[in-house]
Amino acid sequence: MDRRQFLIFSALGGLALALPLARDAAAIPNTPSLSIVLDDAGADSHDLANLEQLVEMKFPATIAVIPRTTHEEAVLKTLSKAPYLDIFAHIPMEFEKMRNSDPKKDHSSWLEQTPRKVGEKYNPVQHAAIYAFDTPAIAVKILADDITHLNNILTQYGKKSIVGFNNHTGSLVTQDTEKMFALATYAKTHGLIIVDSKTTLPERPSVLFREAKRVGATAYERTVFLDLDVDPVKQLQTCYSILEKGKSVIAIGHIKEPATITALAQAQKTHGQYIRKISEI
């Protein structure tokens, strides 16, 4: 505090005034950014055509690839030649109510191609998902194996590698402090960026972002969902209004959605100066 600040501080009542001023200044970043993460790459037959459109547009996004999916190799091959795109591992994690007493309502297949039954041993050649019954040590092994698996494919095509990860579903697993602390510690040690997709309900929130910050990893949390049950054009308007307040946005969409790619092409024209891939914010 310099002399002038001290005089204002004293004249206006000291600490009660000084603290809100400091907090407001810290809340406004110098350059707000809009970062788009496109999830579920590798899982759908439309992924490759949509990805090629993004490459053509030179759109700086982050593409999150699910390990051990049907189209992962084709998607990674294209990504390896796309300097504007960051590559994330999109790690499947068990979600609430995935296993139901009614066998017709067991949604395990949404998680990975060969879902594990409760307590079934993890096999790195077959599995990619973290379940609630996994120990923190096994959860870290799955994360490490998933990233190694994707990097091994990328190595065949060039020098790009996985720069971080976010969770695919995971409303059950991301509530688990010990597991999220273990994953965050691994990310910190290996220089990986974390994005908490925040697929949880407010009353039982994800703790991935909190634990990532606690261990000092580079981490962000999803601000806006762009698609599936909502209109990407409207959702992008929400992103712009946040940017106008001087705050950065992390928006998550899905690579399989053609409407999202069309909306992003328009966003690039009107707000291109704000759009940055995750590794450049």
Nearest residue to Zn ion by CB is 168
Distance of alpha carbon 178 from alpha carbon 136, whole angstroms:
6
Torsion of CA 231, 235, 237, 238, to 10 degrees: 150
Question: Is 198 among the residues that bind Zn ion (CB under 5 A)?
Answer: no
Give the nearer residue to Zn ion in terms of CB position, either 91 or 212: 91
| Length of the chain as a residue count | 281
Q: At closest approach, how far in Å is the CB of 92 from Zn ion?
A: 8
Q: Site for Zn ion (CB under 5 A): which residue of 37, 40, 147, 263?
A: 40
Q: Are strands 86-93 and 249-254 parallel, antiparallel or unpaired?
A: unpaired
For residue 271, the minimal CB distance to Zn ion (Å) is 24
The yes or no reply on residue 168 touching Zn ion (CB under 5 A) is yes
State the minimum distance, in angstroms, from the CB of residue 7 to Zn ion.
Answer: 55
Q: Near Zn ion by CB under 5 A, which window of 38-46, 136-144, 178-186, 231-239? A: 38-46
CA distance 157 to 10: 64
Interface with Zn ion includes 39 (CB under 5 A)? yes
Residue type for position 198: K
Least distance from Zn ion to the Cβ atom of residue 85, Å: 17
Return the range that interacts with Zn ion (CB under 5 A); candidates 35-43, 96-104, 150-158, 184-192. 35-43
The answer to whether the CB of 216 falls within 8 A of the CB of 246 is no
Residue 72 near Zn ion by CB under 5 A: no
From the list 6-14, 77-85, 168-176, 221-229, the region that binds Zn ion by CB under 5 A is 168-176
Q: Which ranges of the chain does DSSP label H, i.e. alpha helix?
A: 3-11, 15-27, 47-57, 72-80, 136-155, 177-190, 208-215, 232-244, 258-271
Q: In angstroms, give the least distance from the CB of 63 to Zn ion.
A: 12
Rounded-to-integer distance, Cα 39 and Cα 215, Å: 25
Minimum distance, C-beta of residue 232 to Zn ion, in the bound complex (Å): 16
Q: Which of 105, 98, 63 is nearest to 84 (CA)?
A: 63
Note the residues at the interface with Zn ion (CB under 5 A): 39-40, 168
